């Protein structure tokens, strides 16, 4: 762990154990959402589903990237991932993004997707609010993730007909324009 890195955050007035718990729960939500979005993307088929497939894939890969970017910060602050993946999944900060009972119902699928993104926006806004002006590294990382979650929500919201997102498309699937620079391992 980074001894001084943790110390300066504590000295700024943050309860680091609470922060680490939030980061682990956020990482668990990314990991489980990556899993569930795999199932949603696979089932996004036919006239209604095919157009949705690409943005589910973008959001799916970017959630994996969010997990990857969060993990080093958890350990730097003296935290750790749970030993058992079942414990980890149960800690997720957002609900399971289950495939709808009728997998051909793309409106139901979109509601699952948009609600998952809305949960993520609340999670990272909370971490940003907690760390702003106090833990610069966690703040900047959480803000980068928040930027991508906001974009994801706007894509699914646009698809639901709630209004234009203002976006076009990622250059490559899951490009992570904001989080990429926090990823120290090669993401290909
Ligand atoms: Fe995410």
CATH of the domain at 149: 1.20.1260.10
Ligand 1 centre distance from Cα of residue 119 (Å): 10
Over range 23-30, report the average pLDDT.
Answer: 98
* pTM, two decimal places: 0.96
The total of structural domains in the chain comes to: 1
Tens of pLDDT, residues 51-76: 999 999 999 999 999 999 999 999 99
Q: Write out the residues surrounding ion ligand 1, Cβ under 5 A.
A: 30, 63, 66, 120
Ligand 1 centre distance from Cα of residue 9 (Å): 24
Other Cβ atoms less than 10 A from the Cβ of 13: the count is 9
Q: For position 186, what pLDDT does the model report?
A: 62
Residue 187 in any domain: the answer is no
Residue 137 has pLDDT above 70, yes or no: yes
Tally the residues of the chain.
188
Residue 56 in any domain: the answer is yes
Structure tokens at 93: 């900060």
User: What's the CA gap between 134 and 128, in Å, rounded?
Assistant: 10
Residue 113 in any domain: the answer is yes
Distance separating the N- and C-terminal Cα atoms of the chain: 27
């Amino acid at each position: 762990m980074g001894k001084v890195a943790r110390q300066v955050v504590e000295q700024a007035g943050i309860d680091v154990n609470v922060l680490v718990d939030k980061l682990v729960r956020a990482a668990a939500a990314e990991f489980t959402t990556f899993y569930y979005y795999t199932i949603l993307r696979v089932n996004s088929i036919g006239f209604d589903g095919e157009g949705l497939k690409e943005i589910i894939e973008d959001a799916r890969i970017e959630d994996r990237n969010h997990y990857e970017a969060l993990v080093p910060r958890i350990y730097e602050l003296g935290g750790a991932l749970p030993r058992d993946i079942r414990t980890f999944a149960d800690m997720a900060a957002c609900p399971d993004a289950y495939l709808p009972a009728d997998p051909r119902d793309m409106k139901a699928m979109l509601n699952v997707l948009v609600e998952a993104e809305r949960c993520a926006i609340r999670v990272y806004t909370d971490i940003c609010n907690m760390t702003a002006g106090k833990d610069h590294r966690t703040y900047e990382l959480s803000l980068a993730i928040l930027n991508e979650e906001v974009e994801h929500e706007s894509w699914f919201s646009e698809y639901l007909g709630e209004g234009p997102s203002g976006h076009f498309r990622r250059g490559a699937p899951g490009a992570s324009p904001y989080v990429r620079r926090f990823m120290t391992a090669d993401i290909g």
